[in-house]
Amino acid sequence: MIEHLLEHIDRLIQQRPVCKEVLESYRELASLMKKVEPEPQDIRFEDRLKDMKKEEGFPLFSREDIPVDLEASSELFAKFIEHLSNTEREDRDGLKKVLEKSKSDSGWTDSLFKTVLRKDDKALSKTGKEVDLDPATLSFLAQVALRPSLYALRDAASDRIDKEHWNYGYCPVCGSEPDMACFAKTGKRYLHCELCGQEWAYHRLKCPFCRNEEHKTLGYFEAEQEEGLRVDFCRQCMKYLKTVDKRVFEEAAPMELENLATIHLDMLANEHGFK
């Protein structure tokens, strides 16, 4: 699976040179993922599914109680930090501090993971200050370190949930918000979970963040000279979602890569005042 990911990264680097730097860094992290194998978690899916049916709109897990292999994720996180602190990155001193912290205090990384899973921005920025590292970098690296474990969970859960008829603006597996959207070959719109990577079908003209359906306040803009990529926005909540139209591309990359390969669209959206 990782090999497949690396091939996509190499192809994207050729196609979208503007994102070369980001993709090359991610390639290094993805190569390190090969070295860590998360343990399958013991999950009573049937009980969970019963609860899910009882209470309409409840995802299978919440971000706080999602069963991940913290040990394997910590090991991977340490590999990321060790590798990155030995590069010429400007923030390498902060990364070295993270390495020291995680080595001297075995609970430090677990607590970081929990902070990221809880989406506790206040605690995250405090942790960032402690080690002189941008909280966004810290959060990104923690999320990527959790990915092998989260994606294994998603794969185990995926066949058991009705992702074609979920119709909520948050993930049916973990309850997180989407970070990307796509149009499938059928023209159906799917949202992609920012945390576990699950995809689910959603209305074409509805904001997943505030459920706004008014055509007047929903819209999109396209990147210049880039067919098949666009930014959908909502003037009611001022949020946006990048969208990949899979009908245009011969081969679309996994959405977590498309997300990295479209950071220029994030900048464009921010310039327009969307967040």
Contact residues toward Zn ion (CB under 5 A) are: 171, 173-174, 176, 193, 195-196, 198, 207, 209-210, 212, 234, 236-237
- Spatial contact of 141 and 77, defined as CB atoms under 8 Å apart: yes
Residue type, 248: V
Q: How far is the CB of 86 from Zn ion (least distance, A)?
A: 33
Would you give the distance in Å from CA 73 to the centre of its chain?
15
- The β-bridge relationship of strands 229-234 and 240-245 is antiparallel
Measured from the CB atom, the residue of 102 and 176 that comes closer to Zn ion is: 176
Q: How far is the CB of 154 from Zn ion (least distance, A)?
A: 7
Measured from the CB atom, the residue of 103 and 211 that comes closer to Zn ion is: 211
Q: How far is the CB of 161 from Zn ion (least distance, A)?
A: 11
CA distances from 117 to 63, 87, 124, 150, 273 (A): 6, 28, 11, 11, 27
Measured from the CB atom, the residue of 174 and 229 that comes closer to Zn ion is: 174
Measured from the CB atom, the residue of 218 and 223 that comes closer to Zn ion is: 218
Measured from the CB atom, the residue of 168 and 209 that comes closer to Zn ion is: 209
DSSP bridge pairs for 181: 191, 243
Q: Can you tell me the distance from the alpha carbon of 155 to that of 133, in angstroms, rounded to the nearest whole number?
A: 33
Q: How far is the CB of 98 from Zn ion (least distance, A)?
A: 26
Q: How far is the CB of 64 from Zn ion (least distance, A)?
A: 13
- Spatial contact of 255 and 9, defined as CB atoms under 8 Å apart: no
- Spatial contact of 56 and 166, defined as CB atoms under 8 Å apart: no
